[in-house]
Amino acid sequence: MKYRVIGSDPKTRREVSVVSLGSMLFGTVTDEATSFALLDRFVEAGGTFIDTSNNYSFWVNGTQGGESEELLGRWIRSRGIGDEITFATKLGARPNAPTSGFSLDIEGLSAKVIRESAERSRDRLGIERIHLLYAHVMDEHTPLEETVEAFGGVVEDGIAGLLGASNHWAWRVERARALAAAAGLPGYEVLQHHHSYLRQRMDTPSLRSPDGNQGLVSGDLLSYVRATSSLTQVAYTPLLSGAYVREDKPLGPGFEHAGTEPRLAALAEVVKETGATANQVVLSWLLGGDIPILPLVGASSVAQLDESLAAVDLELTPEQRTKLDTTN
């Protein structure tokens, strides 16, 4: 395993494994025994960065979420896990009532929600401090100043350490960081968006924005991260839920554009040259780029997890990376 420091403040920064384990389906689709086996294997392999959210996975059984955090809490207690593992969770997208569908009726990022949801997540996890707390989605109905001050408050009170933003436009992140800096408060230092070798269309309206999908890594966001050394980018769903290696997993309409087939062909060439799997090449490409990106991987079996972990030791040649980077 390899490691990287996230965060700039010595009081809250963390050294984490460059691969993060996503636990979104733990406690619902993935049963407890399998979830524990995956967590045990991840830690055995040197993994120290585990991701969840307070709304995972409400859509499976028609709840408000919390099952993933609760399962992690049971695992933490049963294994005697201490501060050596970094746990990240998110708030803001929890549905206000039990539901099986995604809607705009979510908790948001008011001061009251941030305080209460952070405390509940910490209690479910059973840890002294949430090492990394994300604003899960944008809330354009709550004044940004209120959100920034509330996140600063949970850090000051020791409920959370590092702060992050997921599924936010770059300008919203920058505005929040500027407000935090002006007020002498901690700001967002970790970003989490969807990113992979294949790129989705950016112009398709999303549930939360008519302007496009703010959950995708864009050129604007990459440029922002490149220019801001204190920011770390985490990539969720980097393996497209298995679509790189499984014919029964379609890419989806977001990938229906002229750039997809050439990049698939370039990926296939590098796969053949390396003898690695397509998943491993994609993860290595993310990890070794000029903007190092931390992939957040999911798994439903130990074998799947081991495949992803092996990508840490896969070094692409400069020629292979150029081939991947310059294909459009």
Structural domain tally of the chain? Answer: 1
Please report whether residue 132 resides in a domain: yes
How far lies 90's CA from each of 120, 132, 205, in Å? 11, 8, 23
Residue 205 has pLDDT above 90, yes or no: no
Please report whether residue 131 resides in a domain: yes
- The three-class DSSP label of residue 70 is helix
Cis amide leading into 284 (omega within 30): no
- Radius of gyration in angstroms for the set of CA atoms belonging to the chain, rounded to a whole number: 19
Residue 209 has pLDDT above 90, yes or no: no
- The three-class DSSP label of residue 133 is strand
Please report whether residue 274 resides in a domain: no
Half-sphere exposure of 278 (CA within 13 A, CB side): 20
Please report whether residue 327 resides in a domain: no
How far lies 174's CA from each of 135, 141, 161, in Å? 14, 18, 19
Check if the beta carbon of residue 153 is closer than 8 Å to that of residue 120.
Answer: no
Q: Identify which of 132, 55, 158, 137 has the alpha carbon closest to the alpha carbon of residue 100.
A: 55
pLDDT at 207: 77
For the chain, give the percent of residues with pLDDT over 90.
94
The larger pLDDT score, comparing residue 133 to residue 203, is at: 133
pLDDT at 236: 98
Please report whether residue 286 resides in a domain: yes
pLDDT band for 206, please (50, 70, 90 cuts).
confident
For tokens 């309206």, name the residue.
Answer: 205
Query: Taking residues 249-266, what's their average pLDDT?
Result: 94
**pTM for the full model?**
0.96
- pLDDT tens per residue across span 117-129: 999 999 999 999 9
Residue 208 has pLDDT above 90, yes or no: no
pLDDT band for 220, please (50, 70, 90 cuts).
very high
First to last CA, the chain: 31
pLDDT band for 210, please (50, 70, 90 cuts).
confident
Please report whether residue 264 resides in a domain: no
Please report whether residue 175 resides in a domain: yes
Residues comprising the chain, all counted: 328
Query: Taking residues 255-267, what's their average pLDDT?
Result: 95
- pLDDT tens per residue across span 93-106: 999 999 999 999 99
Write out the residue range of the structural domain in which residue 118 sits. 3-256+281-315
- pLDDT tens per residue across span 25-56: 999 999 999 999 999 999 999 999 999 999 99
Which domain CATH number covers 146?
3.20.20.100
How far lies 153's CA from each of 14, 94, 112, 132, in Å? 20, 20, 11, 14
E strands, 119-230, are 130-135, 160-166, 188-194
Please report whether residue 268 resides in a domain: no
